[in-house]
Structure 1
């Protein structure tokens, strides 16, 4: 699935993970915890100001086969990382 930043920001996530001010690996752990709590098909978005999370979270989701990385949207200096739980 390939969505634009605008399309991502228009999604209604089922779970929002606030990771503002956190750094790796805590941003990754928060995202994985959010995905564990989600049900299959639900969308989890992590909001962070840590740019490295935009690489580690998609890689971990793919490696662990726990969801589908939908994309990243940047808004106001924050990154919104969207994942759909498998």
Structure 2
């Protein structure tokens, strides 16, 4: 499931992870740690400047079925990765 940029902008994040300046695998671990704390249905958004995280995080949550990847929004050189806890 991938939402449009406007749909992502309209979502309210329940939890936000600031991963600016971090690199893989730390960006992935930060997202997974926050997902563990989230309740089912909550939206977790990781904000990062590490483009590789836009591939590793969606692949990991798909593989472990911990969350649904909703999409990535790129703004001002940063990426917001939207996840919905299952």
Same fold (TM over 0.5): yes
CA distance in 1, matches of 2:79, 2:5: 10
Could you list the runs of 5+ residues in structure 2 that have no partner in the other structure?
none
Residue 83 of structure 1: aligned partner: 83
Cα distance in 1, alignment partners of residues 12 and 49 from structure 2? 20
TM-score, structure 1 as length reference: 0.97
Contact 1:6 1:73 in 2 (8 A): no
RMSD: 0.7
Q: Shift in Å at residue 73 of structure 1?
A: 0.3
Q: Which residue pairs with 1:25 in the alignment?
A: 25
Residue in structure 2 matched with residue 69 of structure 1 by the alignment: 69
Count of residue pairs brought into register by the alignment: 86
- Segments of 4+ moved more than 6 angstroms: none
Q: Could you give the per-residue CA deviations for residues 24-81 of structure 1, whole angstroms, max 9, x where no partner exists?
A: 0000000001100100000000000000000000000011110100000001100000
User: SS of the counterpart of 1:68?
Assistant: strand
TM-score by length of 2: 0.97
Query: How far did residue 85 of structure 1 move?
Result: 0.2
